[in-house]
Amino acid sequence: MTAALSRTARHLISIPVVSVMLIGSALAATPAPAGATSCSGCHPPNARVGTPVPQLVGQPASQIVAAMTAFRAGARPATVMDRIAKGFSEAETQAIADWYAAQK
């Protein structure tokens, strides 16, 4: 059930991303899925910002999803991400990961 939903979400989310890329950068940015825009409070847009927090922009979606899954399960050492990951379902996480993976 969960897996099916997240696959559907991934498929649907990829539609607007592709459309925007085809049409060009003059078009408005793809609306972010729920929760996505909060992340950039801590996660930097590029390597020029001096922070030990990893960049999400341009990361493979599978890597973001795997990290969040491990944080949620307590399987990856964390200071704050374990607490935050528990607030997002698998489908929500997948949508956010796809959105960040599509940014450059």
Partner 1 sequence: MRRTVSRRTILKTALTAGAASLAMRAPAISQGAGGRVVVVGGGFGGASCARALKQANPALSVTLVEAESTYTACPFSNAVVSGLRNLRAQQFDYSAVQAGGVSVVMSAATAVDASGKSVALANGARLPYDRLVLSPGIDMRWDSLQGYSEAVADIMPHAWKAGPQTMLLRRQLEAMPDGGLVLISAPANPFRCPPGPYERASLIAYYLKSNKPNSKILILDGKDNFSKQSLFEAAWKELYPGMIEWVPLSKGGKVTAIDTSSQTLITDFARHKGAVTNIIPAQKAGRIADIAGVGDRTGWCPIDPVTFESKLVPNIHVIGDASIAGAMPKSAFSANAQAKVCAAAIVALLAGEKPAAPLLINTCYSMVAPDYAISVAGVYQPANGLLTEFRGSGGVSRANAPRSERSLEAAYAEGWFRTITNEVFGS
Nearer CB in complex with partner 1: 37/62: 37
Contact set with partner 1 (CB under 8 A): 5, 8-9, 12-13, 15-16, 19-20, 23, 26-35, 37-45, 49-53, 79-80, 83-89, 91-92, 95
- If one counts every other C-beta atom within 10 angstroms of the C-beta of residue 40, the result is 15
Nearer CB in complex with partner 1: 62/80: 80
Nearer CB in complex with partner 1: 79/104: 79
Summary count for the chain: helices (H), strands (E): 4, 0
Query: Do residues 39 and 101 lie in contact, with contact meaning Cβ atoms separated by under 8 Å?
Result: no
Q: How far is the CB of 43 from partner 1 (least distance, A)?
A: 7
81 burial type by CB count under 10 A (0-12 exposed, 13-18 middle, 19+ buried)? middle
Q: How far is the CB of 30 from partner 1 (least distance, A)?
A: 7
